[in-house]
Amino acid sequence: AQSVTQPDIHITVSEGASLELRCNYSYGATPYLFWYVQSPGQGLQLLLKYFSGDTLVQGIKGFEAEFKRSQSSFNLRKPSVHWSDAAEYFCAVLLSNDYKLSFGAGTTVTVRA
Amino acid sequence: EAGVAQSPRYKIIEKRQSVAFWCNPISGHATLYWYQQILGQGPKLLIQFQNNGVVDDSQLPKDRFSAERLKGVDSTLKIQPAKLEDSAVYLCASSPGGNYGYTFGSGTRLTVV
């Protein structure tokens, strides 16, 4: 079945430490890939997206993500987290046959001082 | 450019009552989506409009939910009668189409008591 999996429900990280959020997808073809962030009470903000080309994608707020076709993964990273990065993060895929965005269940990030 | 506008931000109703949500997409965006986000889950697509026509409403509980997009611009989503399990954030998003990705509104948080 087609799916987007975020294996980690909740991650706690110290301020200044690095962060990596995992995302795996299961689709017949390579979809378009996205990471969104949602702060409490807010809508979804696009961090970055991958369509094709360079497999390392730079986004806003210092985030980057790497597409690995062999692993069907699109993991999100940040070298040094700030307290303001505490939020929920969603990986999403868009298929070229219907252009509907499908989301993973999300990973909640807590940042401790 | 102005973002996707949604109202109200919050709504509390009793079960079996009716409620309506409003969305004004980004000007010129042909495609409009309504998503339901239950606490602790990723957003789930309810309905997709292309201009003022429905493209996909396969996930919309049509016995109680209805949506329309008059003149291909604003859209309303209605629930009648509401159930406890309808408590969620309802997100509206718009897109110019293709793989350009979506822009989300801030959402309407519905609590059914």
For B83-104, the DSSP string reads -GGG-EEEEEEEESSTTS--EE
**Nearest CA of chain B to the CA of A38: how many Å?**
10
Give the pLDDT mean for A70-78: 96
Listed range (A75-79, B1-5, B51-55) with the worst mean pLDDT: B1-5
**Nearest CA of chain A to the CA of B15: how many Å?**
23
Question: What one-character-per-residue DSSP string does A26-59 give?
Answer: E-SSPPEEEEEEE-TT---EEEEEE-SS-SEEE-
Strands A56-58 and B108-112: unpaired
pLDDT digit string, tens, across residues A9-63: 999 999 999 999 999 998 877 789 999 999 987 889 999 999 888 899 999 999 9
Q: Which of B31, B91, B95 sits opposite A44 (nearest CB)?
A: B91
Q: Which residues of B touch A21 (CB under 8 A)?
A: none
Residue B9 DSSP code: S
- Nearest CA to A9 among A106, A111, A110, A96? A106
pLDDT digit string, tens, across residues B50-76: 988 999 999 999 999 999 998 889 999
Res. A94: pLDDT tops 90: no
Q: Which residues of B touch A34 (CB under 8 A)?
A: 101
Residue of B nearest to A105 (CA): B42
* Residue A7, both tokens: 């294996």
